[in-house]
Amino acid sequence: MTTSLDLVRELAPYQDQPAQLPAAANGKVGMLRLGFERRGDRTILRDLYRQSPLLVQRALYWDEEMPGLPCVMILTTSGGVLQGDRLSMDVDLGPEAQAHLVTQAATKIQEMDANYGTQQQNITLADDAYLEFLPEPVIPFRRSRFVSHTRVRLPTSATLLYAEVLQPGRKYYRDGELFAYDLFSSQLRAERPDGRGLFVEKFVISPGQFPVDRIAMMDRFHVFGNVMLLTDTDRAARVYERTATPVWDEQTPLASAVSRLPNDAGLVFKVLGQETEPVRAAVRAFCTAAREEVVGCTFPPAFSWR
């Protein structure tokens, strides 16, 4: 089975087949379909289809600030993304529906000796829908290759809060794996329901070909956070006013800034750090400002595992 992602240019050097199990074989094509619908004062998970290694069990209502918000955890039965995996997910929110998506743990892109892993995500929001898609960080292991394409379709009245946190690898594993992966590529494309394009953001990281630990790229930073807030201009302006001052913290160290997206699509917030937790804290602070301005509720306190 060949998909459009198999044809992207950066994957051309990695078309060899795994010796253990061919790419896209049974057990390596993970699929999720999640459909949310507003019912009274809450949103329900109306439609659910799952195919291993991707898994969702049920929607839970654990957010005390938004008790009608279904919180859905995306699980994996394989311990991460393996060579030859082809993952896809469709998320659909009906009018005025709200949902919060997370992952069970960090997404681990396992070490590879052939081929690659891909992920295709399609997110569709109806009028006045609100979606928070805030997965745990991605950790690309040594020699891993991974490509992700996300397509978002939403009207002006809807809001998507979408975050990525990319780690440099298993930083403290043995002698460390700082930027030892072969390829990490991520693209997000946004458009209106009539097909009018808003913007495309894509970054391709191949440390072996183009080192990233240099000025104008990562420099001395290791962790990259990227948050998209797609919403109407008034909400975006309020969030921008709260977060417009760039941060350059030499002590942590940490750097962050917010920018406006083209075509009045919303905002993009980017943050760099040497460790994961300060980056996650900055991402959470931005997401808190976004939720407060869009729906008038805040995030509950972060759960402490200690």
| Structure tokens that stand for 229 in this block | 């807030």
SS3 content of the chain, % helix, strand, coil (to 5): 15, 40, 45
Paired tokens of 187: 């693209």
pLDDT of 304 reads: 65
Ranges assigned E (strand) in the chain: 29-39, 42-51, 54-55, 71-76, 86-93, 98-103, 107-109, 117-125, 130-133, 138-140, 145-153, 159-166, 183-191, 197-205, 223-230, 247-249, 254-260, 266-273
- Rounded to whole angstroms, how far apart are CA atoms 274 and 67? 35
Q: What is the pLDDT of residue 24?
A: 80
How many whole angstroms separate alpha carbon 222 and alpha carbon 208?
16
Q: What is the pLDDT of residue 275?
A: 96
Mutual angle of helices 233-243 and 276-295, in 10-degree steps: 140
- pLDDT (0 to 100) of residue 2: 61
Contact 261, 268 (CB under 8 A): yes
What was the pLDDT predicted at 67? Answer: 97
Sheet holding 29-39, edge to edge: 42-51, 29-39, 86-93, 117-125, 145-153, 183-191, 197-205
pLDDT tens for each residue of the chain, 306 residues long:
567 888 899 999 999 998 888 888 888 999 999 999 999 999 999 999 999 999 999 999 999 999 999 999 999 998 899 999 999 999 999 999 999 999 999 999 999 999 999 999 999 999 999 999 999 999 999 999 999 999 999 999 999 999 999 999 999 998 889 999 999 999 999 999 999 999 999 999 999 999 998 888 899 999 999 999 999 999 999 999 999 999 999 999 999 999 999 999 999 999 999 999 999 999 999 999 999 999 999 998 877 654
Residue 277 in contact with residue 270, Cβ under 8 Å?
Answer: no
Question: Which tokens hold the place of 275?
Answer: 């460790």
| pTM (2 d.p.) | 0.95
Tokens linked to 292: 């407060």
How many whole angstroms separate alpha carbon 152 and alpha carbon 162? 10
Angle formed at CA 29 by CA 23 and CA 33, multiple of 5 degrees:
155
